[in-house]
Amino acid sequence: MRRAGILAVEQPVIEIKDLHKAYGALEVLKGVSISAPKGHVISLIGSSGSGKSTLLRCCNLLEDSQQGEIIFKGEPVSWKGEGHHRRPADPAQVLRIRTNLSMVFQQFNLWAHMSILQNVMEAPLTVLRRDRDEVEQAARAYLDKVGIGDKCDVYPAQLSGGQQQRAAIARGLCMEPEALLFDEPTSALDPELEQEVVKVIKDLAAEGRTMIIVTHDMKLAADVSDHVVFLHQGVIEEQGPPETLFGAPKSERLRGFLSATH
């Protein structure tokens, strides 16, 4: 387990307080609170349908929520309207939060008609309006970092799943975000390709990146996390350091979940 030491006194990068989220009548998050201090890795685990993806998507405002606070580096999201009509009030704030929390999806979501290099450069150029030469240099460096520096000019379909996911991670990094949000980054991969993505995630954890990782890979969660959160039907059933959560789970449901995933 890593500790960010003195950095932990800073404002958390992202903090969620008592969040409630429903899709119509279906209550999916029923008062969830999590916090990701700078340099920490938080893992979200739980059965399919427990609300993990929804919680992650609420963090960067890809989903609306009806109640509770979302706080980015000490700055609470300002809302207009209430309940099912609640929406973020300030588009500039939404953009700031979204560009600072890069999402990596299970299905990579690369643009098929763009080369790998173009995929990585696209958002820094069009959303952040950064200088093209600088962005290209950074994009090549991030692709090198994830081990596919030789794939700049090929298209996503020419890469393996593991290579595509590493390109998607490079794309996230090229936004220079405050944190990375991963939604089941290895679930779509064959076991032998899973490990190359796991290695990249471990490297990022070791260099002190702030990350929230939804994963079914308990070994990954145990290896990289400072804090693990077990969601059950939209409620945090148990949370704590990985040693405790995996080594001495208290909740019957968590014990059942862990024995089913082995």
- Residue 91 Cβ vs ligand ADP, minimum distance, rounded to whole Å: 22
Among Mg ion, ligand ADP, none, residue 76 binds (CB under 5-8 Å by kind): none
- Residue 29 Cβ vs ligand ADP, minimum distance, rounded to whole Å: 8
Residues 107-146, mask of contacts with ligand ADP (x by CB under 6 A): ----------------------------------------
- Residue 51 Cβ vs Mg ion, minimum distance, rounded to whole Å: 8
Stretch that binds ligand ADP, among 45-53, 89-97, 200-208, 240-248 (CB under 6 A): 45-53
Which residue is at the shortest CB distance from Mg ion?
A: 53
Size of the site for ligand ADP (CB under 6 A): 11
Among Mg ion, ligand ADP, none, residue 49 binds (CB under 5-8 Å by kind): ligand ADP
Judged by CB under 6 A, the residue of 15, 16, 53, 209 near ligand ADP is 53
Tokens of 107: 């299905």
- Residue 142 Cβ vs ligand ADP, minimum distance, rounded to whole Å: 27
- Residue 231 Cβ vs ligand ADP, minimum distance, rounded to whole Å: 7
Judged by CB under 6 A, the residue of 12, 37, 39, 51 near ligand ADP is 51
Stretch that binds ligand ADP, among 41-49, 132-140, 171-179, 249-257 (CB under 6 A): 41-49
Among Mg ion, ligand ADP, none, residue 26 binds (CB under 5-8 Å by kind): ligand ADP
Concatenated DSSP letters of the chain: ----GGGGGSPPSEEEEEEEEEETTEEEEEEEEEEE-TT-EEEEE--TTSSHHHHHHHHTTSS--SEEEEEETTEEPPEES-GGG-EES-HHHHHHHHHHEEEE-TT----TTS-HHHHHHHHHHHTS---HHHHHHHHHHHHHHTT-GGGTTS-GGGS-HHHHHHHHHHHHHTT--SEEEEESTTTTS-HHHHHHHHHHHHHHHHTT-EEEEE-S-HHHHHHH-SEEEEEETTEEEEEE-HHHHHHS---HHHHHHHHHH-
Footprint on this chain of Mg ion (rule: CB under 5 A) = 53
- Residue 218 Cβ vs ligand ADP, minimum distance, rounded to whole Å: 15
Within 8 A by CB and 6+ apart from 111, the residues are 118, 119, 122, 156
Q: How far apart are CA 112 and CA 174, in angstroms?
A: 19
In the complex with ligand ADP, the residue whose CB is nearer, 36 or 45, is 45
- Residue 185's nearest CA partner among 205, 206, 155 is 205
Q: Kindly state whether residue 52 participates in binding ligand ADP, applying the rule CB under 6 A.
A: yes
